[in-house]
Amino acid sequence: MYIPECTITYLHKDGRQYSGNIKSSGLRAQVYDRNGEINVTINPAEPIKLVAFTMSFHWICETDERFFMNGFRSDSPCWETSRDNKIAYLPPYIRSHLRVSTAARLFGSYDIHNGSPMGFSYCYFRTARNHYRLLASTSEQNGYTIFQYDGQDSTIYISKDVEGISLNPGEYRLMSLRFYDDREDVVFDQWFADLNLPPVEVRPMGGFSTTEMGSGVDAASIDSALANLEPLSDYAELFMIAEGWNQSKGDWTPDPVKFPEGMAEVARRIHNKGLKSALWITPFSIDRRSQLARKHRDWIKRDKNNKIVNSPMDANLVALDLSRADVLDYIRDLVDTVLNKWGFDMVVAGDLYMAGLIPENGYSRAKSMYDAISLLRQVVGDAPIMAEDVPLMPAFGKVEYCHISTGTTVHRKDALGSVRSLMDYFTTDRSTLGALYRRQLNGRAWVNTPKEYSLARHKRGGKTPLGNAIVTGMIGMPQLITDNPILYDQEQQKTAETNMMGPDRKIRRVYDVNRQVIAEYTGGEEIHVIKL
């Protein structure tokens, strides 16, 4: 059905570079569409190193059609937009909430049309009648699949992040992409069936997160929060200690002043309240100012130019070298301490993207990410994992829960050059929308975990709209609050209880009217509408 134009760039073993049409590349390439599956294979006669690959084909987006480009990480904001790529939801104070995204830094060379949102692994086009056309990768270990759509010339561009991949003579599948055309549930069911991923049980669960406490979290504030949860004791099941409990990323010992009895005692007190406990760590990265970094400089990953590999958004966050046996021992000991010595029930693993920032050993960034997630799964064993800041597809079927919406701080740098660079900043509405437009992953890839929310007084002095909380309640589990339920009024109390119980509500469709996002959902026999 779709036979794309393909261009490829690669290096011969003698350093000569070819860049041009794949049919003229000398790689004995095959490009074919078989029942909606687009495949591209090459068969080099000599060792080569891949540099870039892009294919494009004509793709008409109707006037009433919206399209969605999935963000690179689970915490990357992403939403539907119109054919002309104009983002409809930029609030007036945008200039104070900008940052350059991970994708902008890592994959800038694949930016075919500056200003068009970039999508990773999958994208879809949706008509006003709720008919979906889904384009989805069926293989990412050979490189992330990157989408961009240009509505002006009705062309879709699909690249493969093949940077650094070394190939020996023989057949190699460069791209495997499927096209699905049907109702929403049908197309996503078909995709996950092709990925051979069975459905995931989404069980009602609620609880509390210390996210709002930040570095101020201590044993006393945890005891207070546990006592305050009493109004929701029939519904709360999980207590999550988020970032801020430790001395630094890498130094996984609590401050003796804030936690004089240690973390095992904290876990015990949580369990005494009849709750399961979860603790946040960053297994694949550390702060370069930490004691661990000063002691083990050789543990920090370096690129081919011997430069330290650090986060695109935080120069002090550096990646660990997972090829080292002593680093793997450190990760195993960290997880063993959390689960077995301290007695926590769940690992909340943050900054997971740090394991796949550079291509290594002749493989793609995506392959490094797949290997790291597999390692984490092996080390954690049967205990549940809640993933944060993770490229999505490498974690499909490997983690029980995934924080599927924004919740990060912002940076101001070079962001006005591209609409795509405006996509990585945080607001309450953005957090809800990011999870809302990825709702199809819930129960298929993992259990979606929406961002924690406040129903009482927000830290800026206003109130979190109940509409956002109600929509969040339909997106996944667990439902985690960050405030004091003793202060809830009757409506807030009812919302929290309903969300934690697993509401008898289901998103029916999402659309926008005059730049206002509308979520239409069923509740009982009625159809309800919420404006976001």
Mean pLDDT of the 218-226 span: 97
Least confident of 73-87, 307-321, 401-415: 401-415
- The confidence score (pLDDT) of residue 286 equals 97
What residues have CB less than 8 Å from 333, skipping those under 6 apart?
Answer: none
Residue 462's pLDDT band (cuts 50, 70, 90): very low
Classify residue 391 as exposed, middle or buried by CB count within 10 Å of its CB (0-12, 13-18, 19+): buried
Strands (E), 4-84: 5-12, 17-21, 30-34, 37-42, 48-58, 66-69, 80-81
Whether 408 has a pLDDT exceeding 50, the answer reads no
Domain layout of the chain by residue ranges: 5-64+104-194, 283-385
Task: Kindly give the interhelix angle for 263-272 and 219-228, rounded to the nearest 10 degrees.
Answer: 10
Whether 188 has a pLDDT exceeding 90, the answer reads yes
Helices (H), 95-140: 102-106
**Alpha-carbon Rg of the chain, whole angstroms?**
23
Least confident of 266-280, 481-495, 502-516: 502-516
> What is the percent of the chain with per-residue pLDDT over 90, rounded to a whole number?
66
Q: Which tens digits make up the pLDDT trace of 101-128? A: 677 778 877 777 656 778 999 999 999 8
Tokens of 91: 């609030």
Residue 427's pLDDT band (cuts 50, 70, 90): low
**CA nearest to 173, candidates 37, 23, 41, 22:** 41
Distance CA 235, CA 204 (A): 9
Distance CA 279, CA 400 (A): 15
Mean pLDDT of the 298-309 span: 96
> What is the percent of the chain with per-residue pLDDT over 70, rounded to a whole number?
89
Mean pLDDT of the 246-262 span: 93
Cα 244 off chain centre by: 21
- The confidence score (pLDDT) of residue 177 equals 94
Least confident of 89-103, 346-360, 446-460: 89-103
Highest mean pLDDT among 277-281, 423-427, 473-477: 277-281
Whether 261 has a pLDDT exceeding 80, the answer reads yes
Q: Report helix, strand or coil for 291.
A: helix
pTM score, whole prediction: 0.92
Residue 169's pLDDT band (cuts 50, 70, 90): very high
DSSP state of 513: E
Mean pLDDT of the 131-140 span: 95
Mean pLDDT of the 487-514 span: 87
Whether 461 has a pLDDT exceeding 60, the answer reads no
Whether 192 has a pLDDT exceeding 90, the answer reads yes
Q: Report helix, strand or coil for 468.
A: helix
On average, the pLDDT of the chain sits at: 88
Residue 296's pLDDT band (cuts 50, 70, 90): very high
- What Å distances lie between residue 249 and 152, 280, 473, CA to CA? 46, 10, 31
Whether 88 has a pLDDT exceeding 50, the answer reads no
